[in-house]
A and B are shown apart, each in its own frame.
Chain A
Amino acid sequence: MQRTSKLKSAAEALAHVKDGAKIIAGGVHLSNTPMALVRQLVRQGVRDLEIVPTPATGLWVDLLIAARCVKKVHVSYIGLEFLGLAPNFRRAVEAGEIEISEVDEPTIFHGLRAAASGLPFCVFPPIHLLTDLPKVSPDVYKTITDPFTGEPVVAVPPIQPDVCLVHVAKADIYGNGLSLGGRHMEDIITKASRHVILSAEEIVDTSEFSAAPTQTTIPGVLVHSVVHAPFGAYPGACPGVYNYDRPHLLEYNEFAKSDRTCDYLDAYVRTRNSDDDMIQRIDPARLQALRLDAR
């Protein structure tokens, strides 16, 4: 019997994402965000997503909010890093258009950790009682008594996403992945989620992984689909492969700030049949200049 390839088109892989799904994407800020997969979600017109961002990110969330794909966001940090606030996120919250679970970095991280490890919840020392988070998110922060010391501690619930999207530099057809930016928290989000879709700049032979198994950052056993997505983190960076496209990010930010993200989506996302099609319309010289091997 043959080992089964997990290689699929983005559309095939993402057909698994239903309206109302709870979804997480890997990466930190503008590094290794699976933008090709996110753009495909926009093309598919998925609705009512519940977004669980990694603790510091923004562009993909802002884009999905503008595309009206989002019902609820768990918030630790949603912003565009050096570009400032995320305009669509900001507008949607100020207008009361999306639901918020107001949390922070350790709450999201350990919520995912709890789901990844099968723990009923995680417990913190009571530092959150010095913030306003428990006041606005009483469903998340529960003060309980430490059974060992009798002191007050704060319990936070597990977070189990339905779907996890991760982008890496290299993958094989069985779902093994290599991030050249090292491990951030992809190991935890892939274990925490029910279904994992991996996109990769390059599909390589499994022998590349078996030659150096200590370098593998995502084991294929956790992955359900693999998508070949060159420039799949664009306009963000894919560590070790290419830098972010600053002019394109500025262009996005201008569209977003002036509430014309729909025009951006029409120009770059909705009118393109696939992400390959979108990337092909970006100036090839500019793309090449972003690549580290061009230097």
Chain B
Amino acid sequence: MSMDFSVSELMAAAISRELRDDDFAAVGTASHIPLCGLRLAQRTHAPNLWFLYGGSGALNSKASELVEMAADYRNLEGAEYRTPLADIIDFEFTGRFSVLFLGGMQIDKYGNMNMVAVGDYAKPKVRGPGTVGLAFTASVQRTFVYVQHHDPRLFVEKVDFVSGRGHSGPEEVAAYRRPWAQGPTYLISPLGVFDFETPDGAMRLRSYHPGQSVESVQAKTGFKLAVAPDVGPTPAPTAQELRIIREIDAGGVLRAGA
């Protein structure tokens, strides 16, 4: 199957369409694809969208190259404000961020995310970097989960440590999640697009990327996936979207599939 775009470019376009004109989004480390999605949205249907680019503190970064570190101060190029960490944490607690991009080293059926440890916490098989801002999935409006891989070691039946809470334990979630917070509402991986629109908030396949199918995505997932009734291929980027993505990504990082 021949495509004139990469899966990364497809993902950026898919993310862009999920964003709204009145969103205030935040994205963290290793996030070229969501970054491109945010900037594409600003240049198409969401000119009033604001976004924070990770540790650089940049609001509305227009950096001329995609650098490998979100915390790189070069991301301040073209930005309108350098956000101190105090502001970022205030925005996270109060739900001013309408969208927060998060990820994990394990993600389970209900969108719970683990960044701490694989295996027994006291004697981990893999020690992760830590929880950072994942608890804020209970206080920002919508959590978009973004991962760069998709395999049964990442998508597990139950995470070994809950850093960020998804939709399991609905009574606890109702008691402790902030009233405006919806938890994980969207997940994108290199294989497909998912939501949590099931009665029990379990992860559901909404569309699969080129070369994939319901069966192939299920085979790479460590739990039984729900499937949307209208599941189908992830819509390809339009010519206009692709042109803008390649202006943002002049160095071709996404095109190379990074």
Contacts and interface: CB of A to CB of B under 8 A. Distances in A.
Contacts of B30: 81-82
Contacts of A132: 116, 121, 161-163
Contacts of B139: 125, 127
Nearest to A133: B131
Contacts of B92: 106
B123 A96 contact: yes
A93 B127 contact: yes
A78 interface: yes
Given A82-B29, A125-B139, A77 B130 contact: yes
Tell me the dominant secondary structure on chain A's binding face.
Answer: mixed
Contacts of A45: none
Contacts of A125: 93, 139, 176, 178
Given A31-B55, A31-B71, A93-B127, A109 B89 contact: yes
B126 interface: yes
A70 to B, nearest CB: 15
B82 A182 contact: yes
Contact of A182 (B57, B138, B162): B57
A124 interface: yes
A110 B69 CA distance: 25
A55 B129 contact: no
B132 interface: yes
Chain A CB within 10 A, most for which of B29, B30, B176: B176
A86 B134 CA distance: 19
Interface string B135-174: 1101100000000000000000000011111000000110
B47 interface: no
A132 B135 CA distance: 10
Contacts of A106: 89, 92-93, 133, 135-136
A86 B126 CA distance: 11
A149 interface: no
A37 B152 CA distance: 43
Bin chain A's interface residue count: 35 or more
Contacts of B126: 90, 94
B176 A126 contact: yes
B21 interface: no
B85 interface: yes
Interface stretch (A97-105, A197-205, A251-259, A271-279): A97-105
A183 interface: yes
A105 B91 CA distance: 13
B71 A28 contact: yes
A280 B55 CA distance: 30
A102 B124 CA distance: 13
Contacts of B86: 109, 113, 185, 188
Contact of B69 (A82, A104, A130, A240): A82
B232 to A, nearest CB: 34
Nearest to A128: B135
A129 B176 contact: yes
B82 A130 contact: no
B89 A237 contact: no
B135 A183 contact: no
B68 interface: yes
Contacts of B127: 85, 89-90, 93-94
B82 to A, nearest CB: 4
Contacts of B85: 28, 54-55, 105, 109, 184-185
B96 interface: no
Nearest to B125: A94
Given A30-B71, A181-B73, A182-B84, A75 B130 contact: yes
Given A29-B55, A127-B177, A77 B132 contact: yes
A35 B144 CA distance: 35
Q: Which 4 A-B pairs have the closest CB atoms?
A: A182-B82, A130-B165, A239-B73, A29-B71
6 contacts: A76-B130, A77-B129, A103-B131, A109-B86, A127-B138, A128-B135
Given A93-B127, A185-B85, 16 more contacts: A28-B71, A29-B55, A29-B70, A29-B71, A58-B129, A76-B130, A82-B29, A105-B89, A113-B86, A126-B176, A127-B135, A127-B177, A132-B116, A187-B84, A237-B73, A240-B73
